[in-house]
Amino acid sequence: MTTQYLLGNEAIARGCLASPVHFVTGYPGTPSSEVIDILRSLPERDFYVEWSVNEKVALENALAAAWCGLRALCTMKHVGLNVAADPLMTSAYTGVTGGLVIMSADDPFAHSSQNEQDSRCYALFSRLPCLDPSTIQEAHDMVRDAFALSEEFSLPVIFRPTTRICHSKGDTVTEDRSHVIRKGEFHRNPQQYVVIPAHTRVLHRKLNQKQPLVKRTLVEKGYNHAVVRGPVAIVASGIAASYVQEVLPDGVSFMKIGAYPIDEEWLSAFVRQHEMVLVVEELHPVVEEAVRQVAGCVAVNGKKNGMVPYEGELSTVAVAKIMQACGIAPSRVFSEPSPAGDVPSRPPILCAGCMHRPVFYAMRKVFKDGIFPSDIGCYTLGLQLGAVDTTICMGASITVASGIAQSGEDRDVVATIGDSTFLHTGIPGLLNAVYNGAKMILVILDNRVTAMTGHQPNPSSGMTACGTPVPPVSLEAICRACGVSYVETVDPYDLVSLLSVLKEARERPGVKVIIARQPCVITARRSGMRRGRYQVDPETCTACGLCVKFGCPAIEKAGEKAFINDLCSGCGVCVQICPAGAIGREVKR
Amino acid sequence: MTRSFDILMVGIGGQGIILASNILGEACLIEGRSVRGAETHGMAQRGGSVEGHIRIDGKFGPLIAPGTAHLMIAFDMLEALRYAHFLAPDGHMVANSHIVIPTSVFMQGAAIPDKDAVRERLEGWSLCLVDADALAAEAGSPLSQNVVMIGAASWFMPFAPSSLLTAVERLVPKKTVAINRNAFELGRVAGEKCKEGSRKA
């Protein structure tokens, strides 16, 4: 046992190693990605680990490993669970032999996500147990024990940390790594693993029969606990429980829910000892709905009567305010100082030398009234450059593009998608667009890595999660196999070629694919690539501002004229934009 | 119940706030104290405004409430202004005396924030301005800015300086230990002047 200052996701990875875990799969997604990044970078590994191409693929692989008796972990962000929902729902019927833990990290406030959905709803929906940590220590301990819990119930267990668990830090006592190795063995059992109607009806009944034992066990193990201290109670779950504890006054009862399903009898016994219960939780009122079902004539405050917001994340300040509104005096009150006004915002921005920027620039030049469906990745920041018109979910750039094109829209539809997102769920959309005769252009922004979430390798990177070299997949061959006849690959730093290929594609019928390929500037720099910097000759610069409007963080204004700072990575695109020829290679003095 | 000592670090993605936060966390472990922290991860880091919360002796959630931070360490003066309302009325602010202009300001042709005007707006806080860029260069690497800032702010933290220095030595890359030791000491000297001299900017 050691005490360390750990990131939540690192504590989760350590918990898995203490269990131990034998088989790890997942698809990167903030805030879940560091768990596999830590496990795959360990110098010594006695378990299997992969970055899968999407979450459905990841879960099915992990489920198979658990059927073979291994302890398996599958990680994803909350929206990834939508992709994996198909195997999830039926895995509850088949159950598992080895422990299967599905980590689905929720993101209240959508810090880095397209929505604020609640993975606990999937637990209710699938009737699977769900663990919901309120501290980093608890996250470590819960995930360590979740594998055994999964084996005890023969059910997959959903583990649901939120952003403020995954990306917070704390002093954490971690248990030593266990090295108990298992070898997977599949035992044929069609009644369990072949879900034809005759089998699945039986399996469904078995799943329902397991529920009372699951509920009781979660209370017995202390995941759900309570202390009665007065006529008023606060019930809280997840990180919100930590916020409540910071301002909980004496004489107010407290119940912490850390696991689902909740035992209604136990909950009812607690609730009915009080005159009023306040339920504090982020996202969906999962706990509140359970409390309201058993409350009888006890007054309940929460989201459903407008006392707690449905959206966003909570904080100690927010919780103190909610308590006051419900007539509970918090042990500490906060003033509400307002931020200084008129401070220019500093949003995240595509890196200096990022290959996405010239592509968006060229698209806007060639398709002045084009429609630009896009996708999930760093390139969503192309919104700032006016080249992203839609983003909904992974892979949807292509399908939204074909949908718009087939709707009778006359303008050019030009979709953008990254290499990893294309391989994740983009391919079926491309196949569909070609098959059904859509007229559109797809630009694959191929930077050879899953950049946004921390540069995880994918099949286009030429290596596995653990760095084993493998042949990179050919995006050109995939597109051609989907039936695309116009597939052109172009260097996005070569603006002339980029513009001419876009113009050519505009004139062709059907689905056209342009693959713009350059390694991500961050991975390129890490691998030692140096291109040399550029500079502006102030004598020649006419202060026209075209290079500044390009939006590269390496290009500033020094007075009226342009100036290139030391963020320059040497892509050379601005040289091709400058009408005065004022930008050239840096001359060392 | 003793309250935590709350430090907010603010800056721009890529300036080393995560390492700085780890150094403070390690110093807590060295002194056997509990700690909670939270910081910006993921794409928001790509040159965006970032924050790191550290609650020394913290036992609950990781987030610092506005108006309650005991100390703010700002890696950029514009970010100091953006987050100044997090500081308690009697809190201290230690800020790098530089401003990185957001690219969007240039792109939109908006008014470029003026350093003196920003400094004026920070008056009223106990402000210690440190030229971290110059001190980091003097220490041997511009990347040691974050450690310069920790050194300067060390006067306002409830740690023995030796705990902080040990934490720095443990967490920075092995090859850069000497540079970072210099950076810490240079920062500490710069911070001492603030502590002794006029605290108001």
Nearest to A366 by CA among A441, A308, A264: A441
Preceding omega of A108 cis (within 30 degrees of 0): no
B66/A336 Cβ within 8 A: yes
Tell me which DSSP letter residue A536 carries: E
A340/B39 Cβ within 8 A: no
Question: H helices of A226-285, where?
Answer: 239-247, 264-271
Residue showing tokens 């695109």: A573
A30/B37 Cβ within 8 A: no
Of A4, A5, A248, A557, which to mutate for an interface test with B (greatest number of B Cβ within 10 Å)?
Answer: A5
The more confidently predicted of residues B124 and A320 is A320
pLDDT band at A546; cut points 50, 70, 90: very high
Hey, is the C-beta of B178 within 8 angstroms of any chain A C-beta?
no
B110/A344 Cβ within 8 A: yes
Tell me which DSSP letter residue A452 carries: T
**Average pLDDT value for residue range A216-237:** 97
The nearest alpha carbon in chain B to A168 belongs to: B38
A334/B67 Cβ within 8 A: yes
- In this structure, whether the domain defined by A356-526 belongs to CATH 1.10.230.10 is answered with no
The distance of A315 to chain B (nearest Cα, Å) reads 7
The distance of A241 to chain B (nearest Cα, Å) reads 9
Contact A547, A562 (CB under 8 A): yes
**Average pLDDT value for residue range A23-30:** 98
- Architecture of A534-585 per CATH? 2-Layer Sandwich (3.30)
Hey, is the C-beta of B176 within 8 angstroms of any chain A C-beta?
no
- Sign (positive/negative) of CA torsion B116, B122, B123, B129? negative
**Average pLDDT value for residue range A76-80:** 98
- pLDDT given for residue B14 in this prediction: 85
The domain B5-196 belongs to what CATH superfamily?
Pyruvate-ferredoxin oxidoreductase, PFOR, domain III (3.40.920.10)
The nearest alpha carbon in chain A to B48 belongs to: A348
Q: Which residues of A touch B43 (CB under 8 A)?
A: 30, 112, 348, 378, 381, 452-453
- pLDDT given for residue A1 in this prediction: 86
A346/B79 Cβ within 8 A: yes
DSSP letters spanning A206-237: HHHHHHHHHHHHHHHTTSSEEE--SSEEEEEE
pLDDT digits (tens, 9 = 90+) for A269-306: 999 999 999 999 999 999 999 999 999 999 999 999 99
Residue A166 has which token pair?
A: 């995954």
Contact A50, A44 (CB under 8 A): no
**Taking a contact as any Cβ pair under 8 Å apart, which residues of chain B between 125 and 154 contact chain A?**
none
**Taking a contact as any Cβ pair under 8 Å apart, which residues of chain B between 22 and 41 contact chain A?**
22, 25-26, 28-29, 33-41
Contact A433, A406 (CB under 8 A): no
**Average pLDDT value for residue range A217-233:** 97
| Domain range summary for chain A, segments of one domain joined by + | 2-217, 225-325, 356-526, 534-585
- pLDDT given for residue B1 in this prediction: 56
- pLDDT given for residue B47 in this prediction: 83
Q: Which residues of A touch B22 (CB under 8 A)?
A: 5, 169
Nearest to A550 by CA among A536, A537, A540: A536
Element housing A475 (H / E): helix A475-481
Question: H helices of A42-194, where?
Answer: 55-67, 78-83, 85-94, 119-126, 136-153, 163-166, 190-193
Pairing of the two strands A534-536 and A583-585: antiparallel
Asked if pLDDT for residue A131 goes beyond 70, the answer is yes
Hey, is the C-beta of B58 within 8 angstroms of any chain A C-beta?
yes
Q: Which residues of A touch B105 (CB under 8 A)?
A: 344
Query: Within a 10 A sphere around the Cβ of A49, how many other Cβ atoms?
Result: 20
Report CA-CA distances (Å) from A487 to A124, A415, A501, B4, B63: 46, 14, 10, 60, 50
B42/A338 Cβ within 8 A: no
Hey, is the C-beta of B65 within 8 angstroms of any chain A C-beta?
yes
Report CA-CA distances (Å) from A524 to A34, A555, A565, B94: 21, 20, 19, 35
Asked if pLDDT for residue B200 goes beyond 90, the answer is no
- pLDDT given for residue A337 in this prediction: 95
Of B2, B3, B60, which to mutate for an interface test with A (greatest number of A Cβ within 10 Å)?
Answer: B60
Greatest CA separation for chain B: 51
- Sign (positive/negative) of CA torsion A189, A194, A200, A206? positive
Angle at A285 between CA A279 and CA A289, to 5 degrees: 80
Q: Is the ipTM of this complex over 0.85?
A: yes
Contact A342, B121 (CB under 8 A): no
pLDDT band at B43; cut points 50, 70, 90: low
Query: Within a 10 A sphere around the Cβ of A428, how many other Cβ atoms?
Result: 12
**Average pLDDT value for residue range B47-66:** 95
Domain range A2-217, CATH class: alpha beta
**Average pLDDT value for residue range A463-487:** 98
Contact A32, A52 (CB under 8 A): no
**Taking a contact as any Cβ pair under 8 Å apart, which residues of chain B between 78 and 97 contact chain A?**
78-79, 81-86
**Average pLDDT value for residue range A172-190:** 96
Q: Is A512 left (phi over 0), alpha (psi -120 to 50) or beta?
A: beta
Asked if pLDDT for residue A335 goes beyond 50, the answer is yes
Residue B48 and residue B164: Cα distance in Å, rounded?
28
Residue showing tokens 């002093």: A171
Axis-axis angle for helices A55-67, A85-94 (nearest 10): 20
pLDDT digits (tens, 9 = 90+) for A412-458: 999 999 999 999 999 999 999 999 999 999 999 999 999 999 999 99
Asked if pLDDT for residue A167 goes beyond 70, the answer is yes
B62/A553 Cβ within 8 A: no
CB burial of A503-533 (b: ≥16 within 10 Å; e: otherwise) equals eebeeeeebbbbbbbbbbbbbbeeeeeebeb
Greatest CA separation for chain A: 82
Query: Which segment of A227-231, A388-392, B196-200 scores lowest on mean pLDDT?
Result: B196-200
How high is the mean pLDDT of chain A?
97
Residue B182 and residue B185: Cα distance in Å, rounded?
5
In CATH terms, are A225-325 and A356-526 the same topology?
Answer: yes
The distance of B60 to chain A (nearest Cα, Å) reads 5
- Sign (positive/negative) of CA torsion B131, B137, B140, B144? positive
Report CA-CA distances (Å) from A338 to A210, A289, B7, B83, B86: 52, 35, 19, 10, 9
Hey, is the C-beta of B115 within 8 angstroms of any chain A C-beta?
no
- pLDDT given for residue A42 in this prediction: 96
Hey, is the C-beta of A453 within 8 angstroms of any chain B C-beta?
yes
- pLDDT given for residue B195 in this prediction: 77
| CATH code linked to domain A225-325 | 3.40.50.920
Residue A58 and residue A50: Cα distance in Å, rounded?
8
